[in-house]
Amino acid sequence: TRGTEIADFILTAGSASTDPRDTFFTAIAALGGRVIRRGVPAHPGSMLWLARVGGTSILGLPTCGAYSKATAVDLLLPRLLAGEPASERTVAKLGHGGILTRSQRFRFPPYARDLDAPDG
């Protein structure tokens, strides 16, 4: 408990955000804290989780951080470093929505393009 009394925020790694019995979540509950959000509206990093124990924010890093240059952590961490408390509102700011549709046209490059064409 001492860590949550002196730290502004804590970063964790190695948890399973989809497992409600993960030991991180058990520890947070035992300390009187609560999980604010499991998953965020940003990718990669959508499996990030956010909790609070007293005045300390706890950020559970998604495994994609080991493989991607930029993740949802890059969107959320500056807010926490600036002193913004972990909240549902903080997480909601990450997703603007409405930009992408279900159409598949924009998701893949035009592989069928003729490489012999003058521009190609």
What domains are defined for the chain?
2-95 (3.40.980.10)
Res 33: pLDDT: 94
What amino acid is encoded at 37 in this protein?
Answer: R
Supply the pTM of this predicted model: 0.69
Q: What is the mean pLDDT of the chain?
A: 77
User: Which of the four pLDDT bands, split at 50, 70 and 90, describes residue 97?
Assistant: low
Res 98: pLDDT: 55
